[in-house]
Amino acid sequence: MPHEALRDFVLPNKGQGGRNLPEGELHPPRMTLTARFREALLYAATLHAAQVRKGSQSPYLAHLLGTAAIVLEHGADEDEAIAALLHDAVEDQGGAATGQQIRRRFGSRVAEIVDGCTDADTRPKPPWRERKETYLANLLTADASVHLVSAADKLYNAHSIVADYRLLGESLWERFTGRKSGTLWYYREVATVLGRVWPGPLVDELARTVEELERLVLATEAS
């Protein structure tokens, strides 16, 4: 989509998770993305320009756009959509200093959602298992906006893992710090925690995708 076409980019706001529509309404009001979203999109593209997805040459921006698309399709407001674009910025591109810049440019709510989706803002990062356990614990008390972006992030990743596992089989796990057992544990736990604190269609889809991955792995191990 040309940059100019984003000027009046309007999306239907579908609602998601625990957000209920007003009584008698089938569809919530439409939501218009403003210049703030365009600025965040360009900022994310700049921050992650040299980054690629694990084990591939796909631009990392593909993941950020996919996560933003999922949250928008599940009723995100503009702050949540911006946070989806920037959810890995602190963790991967500058740590706490980047978080401060996000707060200045896009406001405290966006910064707080990004912070809730970040498992480390320092270098070197803490050990992998420790980071993931802390992330899961924080999800239990996070607000719905963090749950939305986290669920979208993990759903996008889980879909990618399923697709790549079909192609690569067991060699896929070499690209993950947690390897097979840790990665399966983590995605299963994220789906379980979100299902407990923020049930809804998006988390249901995440749980189904994780279950599909587990079935594929079991079938491979049994063959």
**Tokens encoding 126:** 């803490």
- DSSP class of residue 50 equals T
Active site residue: 78, 91, 112, 205, which one?
A: 91
- DSSP class of residue 20 equals P
Q: Are 156 and 67 in contact (CB under 8 A)?
A: yes
Question: What pairs with residue 32 in β-bridges?
Answer: 10
Active site residue: 77, 92, 119, 121, which one?
A: 92
What pairing do the DSSP bridges indicate for beta strands 31-32 and 10-11?
antiparallel
Q: Are 117 and 146 in contact (CB under 8 A)?
A: yes
The four Cα atoms 91, 133, 145, 150 give a dihedral, to 10 degrees, of 70
Left (φ > 0), alpha (ψ -120 to 50) or beta: where does 118 sit? beta
| CA separation for the pair 66, 61 (Å, rounded) | 8
In the annotation, is 91 catalytic? yes
CB count within 10 Å of CB 175 equals: 15
Whole-angstrom CA distances from 180 to 66, 73, 176, 219 are 24, 30, 8, 14
**Which residues does the annotation mark as catalytic?**
91-92
